[in-house]
Chains A and B, each alone.
Chain A
Amino acid sequence: MAIERETLQWMYRNMLTIRYFEERVAELFAAGKCFGFVHLYVGEEAVATGACANLRKEDYITSTHRGHGHLISKGGDLKLMMAELFGRRTGYCKGKGGSMHIADVELGILGANGIVGGGFPIAVGAGFTAKYKGTDQVAACFFGDGASNQGTFHEGLNMASIWKLPVIFINENNFYGISLSQRRSMNVPDVAARAAAYNIPGVVVDGNDVLAVYEAVQEAVKRARAGEGPTLIECKTYRYRGHFEGDPTVYRPEEEVREWKKKDPIPRFEEKLAQMGIMTEEQMKQVREEIAGKIEEAVKFAEESPWPSPEEVLEDVYA
């Protein structure tokens, strides 16, 4: 597989950025610096990274409640993200959205979403715009295994399939919808099997292998840009942390978490980068330090940012 060196390096940086951002948010949340519900992406970095490596700025994504990884991968600004988590005026949503509603329409990010399955029809609408206007933009719709049991999954995939809309449905199967395991929530082993109902390709990949995700999404994006319609890609992965920060995770065995951590996408990719001669350990170390510094800059920006003034509660309801 020929992937450009810059792309591989970007993937590494991006996965690390997500990991460090999320780990820092966990600390900040525990310290009471950010508020509300925070759902972290630690462990799933390869999915958003491998997927978004195929997207252009003008392409669209819809995200989920566990959205930080998607936003970072689509080019989201770390400072504006962090400031939003802190509830500050300088945040992406001026402190009106928080973790579950961060968006950057200019970057094609049509929002994280607090409603499980809420993004399917919206992604279909974005794909519809591309087709209506005759551009070759695509829309990538991220969703979890739990969302695939919602009615919007069916309605969204059906509409995208009958109209051959340029949408890539990217399932992050982390095996749990909050506490309910996938084997108790659906009677098929693979979410991708559901693609058959829409006569579209359904692909299963190792979601902890960024290159496997990249390849699968590359093929789907090619199909979408060529007007051949949507693809459903299931990335099997795992969230290390609870559903939300504070979740005691009593519903899954520790042994399972340990097994998944052995398949951590980041060390696996580091090994590969070294083997491929893309980066040396020394270079990777530099990148790690640089990204840790960027995260701290974002935290500093958020901490020093002003709070919104109370009267701003009334703004931005209507255009």
Chain B
Amino acid sequence: MRKLTMRAAINEALRQEMRRDPNVYVIGEDVGVFGGCFGVTAGLIDEFGPKRVIDTPITESAIIGNALGAAATGLRPVAEIMFMDFVGVTMDQIYNQAAKMRYMFGGKAKIPMVIRTACGAGGSAAAQHSQSLEAWFMHVPGLKVVAPSTAYDAKGLLVSSIRDDNPVIFVEHKFIYDLEGEVPEDIYSIPLGKADVKRQGSDVTVIATMAMVHKALEVAEELSKEGISVEVIDPRTLQPLDGETIIESVKKTHKVVIVHEAVKFAGPGAEIAAMIAEEAFDYLDAPIKRVAAPFTPVPFSPVLEQAYIPSKEKIIAAVKEAVA
């Protein structure tokens, strides 16, 4: 099958959804001729013009408010917040307005909007251009949170996100934009709230998100040579979270390691671990382990940054401890 980078797969999802539905438009900073800070929206303006691929000023609250007001009145906006670190500037429009509007109005509003945003450390971009803040949004009722790890998943999940009638935070890890994978040319969707078992295994369950999925898969491959069979699960959607797939796996392996790049304290893994402890405690043969960033801002120097990002070595150590 044809291979695409995750960047190109997201671009294709946008393009195909825009062709399908004239109410879908793209709005954000430098998304037009510039093609987006990470090149994700490249070329869309050539096909759809400035009416549907809209460059905004640097004005995050108005970008999200525009999307919300438009979604509440019948359009399907896909807004881009260039770096996930910038969501704080517009947080009120996301968590107080978009997320709650339907509930506050007694179910009488539909808010079909997507906020695409790039997370992740690895480029010495330091503390305000590198964070993974997905746990913030998992905590807000009314939002859905999608976090793909592959090109295939990114395309199908973005299609579902655009068609969803709720506000969706679509998190793209910027250091896997270049990763290639097989992606069908035809449009397809992957349901939100469905995890994917990326590798079958029987000794330990590793639940990993976004860039960490790939590290977990490398670890699984290496450890298989030592006779340790690692199952790798990518939740793909963090809200709603597919507890069923995770619990099924725990019942099989009895050991769990959770890996994400967000900081460990109150990170996405905290919720996953708590869920497993509540629902599958009797199946556990070892304490749940978490491998995640330390409780610090993201540092600048490559040396410090590499110490910050969860490494393969740390994942290996955690898995070995779990199966010991």
Residues of A at the B interface (CB closer than 8 Å) are 60, 62, 91-97, 101, 103-106, 110-111, 113-115, 118, 120-130, 132-133, 139, 151-152, 155-156, 158-159, 162, 315-319
In the complex, which residues of chain B have a beta carbon less than 8 angstroms from the beta carbon of A105?
72, 105, 108-109
In the complex, which range does the number of interface residues on chain B fall in? 35 or more
In the complex, which residues of chain A have a beta carbon less than 8 angstroms from the beta carbon of B25?
132
Select B110's contact among A97, A104, A319, beta carbons within 8 Å: A319
Q: Are A93 and B105 in contact (CB under 8 A)?
A: yes
User: Looking at the complex, which of B59-67, B277-285, B303-311 is the stretch in contact with chain A?
Assistant: B59-67
Q: How far is the CB of A13 from chain B (nearest CB, A)?
A: 26
The answer for the CA separation of A162 and B64 in the assembled complex, in Å, is: 17
Q: Are B74 and A121 in contact (CB under 8 A)?
A: no
In the complex, which residues of chain A have a beta carbon less than 8 angstroms from the beta carbon of B51?
132
Q: How far is the CB of A38 from chain B (nearest CB, A)?
A: 16
- B86-120 vs A, CB cutoff 8 Å, 1 = contact: the mask equals 00000011001100011111111111100000000
Q: Are A162 and B70 in contact (CB under 8 A)?
A: no
Q: Are B103 and A122 in contact (CB under 8 A)?
A: no
Q: Are A317 and B72 in contact (CB under 8 A)?
A: no
Q: Are A93 and B108 in contact (CB under 8 A)?
A: yes
- Contacts A158-B59, A159-B56 known; A317 to B102 CB distance under 8 Å? yes
In the complex, which residues of chain B have a beta carbon less than 8 angstroms from the beta carbon of A91?
106
Q: Are B66 and A124 in contact (CB under 8 A)?
A: yes
Q: Are B166 and A156 in contact (CB under 8 A)?
A: no
In the complex, which residues of chain A have a beta carbon less than 8 angstroms from the beta carbon of B68?
121-122, 125
The answer for the CA separation of A94 and B103 in the assembled complex, in Å, is: 9
In the complex, which residues of chain B have a beta carbon less than 8 angstroms from the beta carbon of A127?
69
Select A121's contact among B75, B93, B105, B106, beta carbons within 8 Å: B93
Q: Are A125 and B70 in contact (CB under 8 A)?
A: yes
In the complex, which residues of chain A have a beta carbon less than 8 angstroms from the beta carbon of B108?
92-93, 103-106
Select B104's contact among A97, A122, A315, beta carbons within 8 Å: A97
The answer for the CA separation of A123 and B68 in the assembled complex, in Å, is: 9
Q: Are B104 and A101 in contact (CB under 8 A)?
A: yes
In the complex, which residues of chain A have a beta carbon less than 8 angstroms from the beta carbon of B70?
125-126, 128-129, 132
The verdict on B165 contacting chain A, using a C-beta distance below 8 Å, is yes
Q: Are B57 and A121 in contact (CB under 8 A)?
A: no
Q: Are B74 and A129 in contact (CB under 8 A)?
A: yes
List 10 other contacts, CB 8 Å, given A121-B68, A158-B62, A159-B66: A92-B108, A93-B106, A103-B108, A122-B68, A125-B68, A128-B69, A152-B93, A159-B57, A317-B142, A319-B165
Q: Are A158 and B106 in contact (CB under 8 A)?
A: no
The verdict on B71 contacting chain A, using a C-beta distance below 8 Å, is yes
In the complex, which residues of chain A have a beta carbon less than 8 angstroms from the beta carbon of B56?
159
In the complex, which residues of chain B have a beta carbon less than 8 angstroms from the beta carbon of A120?
62, 65
The answer for the CA separation of A162 and B59 in the assembled complex, in Å, is: 12
The answer for the CA separation of A68 and B75 in the assembled complex, in Å, is: 27
The answer for the CA separation of A104 and B103 in the assembled complex, in Å, is: 13
